[in-house]
Amino acid sequence: MTIFEEIKQEIMSDSMNSSYTIRGIPPLFKASKDARIAIVGQAPGRKAEETRLFWNDLSGDRLREWMGISKEKFYETDRIAQLPMDFYYPGKAKTGDIPPRKGFAEKWHPLLLKEMPHIETIILIGSYSQKYYLGKRCGKNLTETVRNFKEYLPEYLPMVHPSPLNQGWLKRNEWFESDVLPILKVIVNNSLTSTIKYI
């Protein structure tokens, strides 16, 4: 059993997640010793939970387009880790989904990242991941944080969520497509093509 399988079993055994484990729902994440970048989103949606496939929706289609990567490569490569702020679908709210549970990322992300020593950039999608990883370094709002993305590179790349609900934001902030997405594509391409040096 790999270290990642051991951590997965610990997550499933945690009382915080017992209601999911009892129903046969496993934590949805992806970690690998070969990972060069990690995508930190909000939490799996209902469809992702049902299909056991992260970013398996329209948001995922747009994210892959932004990254310049095929759907096949996105799911097959071990160079891209997937660490949402919660590994389980938290449920539906009046508008959108319930936020990821507090304390989940704090407990499990450090354990997983410790085992992925080649991670060079963590892509922070949405305000929950940005507030957790950037803390007081965040701007006054998501737009300001993303606009100042160069301040956080190369360790972090803050981004807006690729949800169709954010189409209006994208139209109001055309600089995102011209300034941020080319950098994202370079980071992704480098992660897939560069050689990993093991010590």
10 in Cβ contact with 107 (< 8 Å):
no
Q: Sketch out the chain's domains with CATH numbers.
A: 27-193 (3.40.470.10)
Write down the pLDDT at residue 196: 63
Q: Is 76 helix (H, G, I), strand (E, B) or coil?
A: helix
- pLDDT surpasses 90 at 194: no
Cα–Cα–Cα angle for 151, 128, 27, rounded to 5 degrees: 120
For the chain, percent of residues with pLDDT exceeding 90:
90
Tell me what the pLDDT averaged over the chain comes to. 95
Write down the pLDDT at residue 1: 82
Backbone angles phi, psi at 138, to 5 degrees: -65, 155
- Output the pTM of the full model: 0.94
Write down the pLDDT at residue 28: 97
For the chain, percent of residues with pLDDT exceeding 70:
98
pLDDT digits (tens, 9 = 90+) for 11-51: 999 999 999 999 999 999 999 999 999 999 999 988 899 99
What DSSP state is assigned to residue 168? H
Please name the residues in contact with 31: beta carbons below 8 A apart, sequence gap of 6 or more: 4, 7, 81, 82, 83, 112, 115, 116
What DSSP state is assigned to residue 117? T
Instruction: Identify the CA nearest to 35 among candidates 122, 125, 161.
Output: 122
pLDDT digits (tens, 9 = 90+) for 77-101: 999 999 999 999 998 877 777 899 9
188 beta partners: none
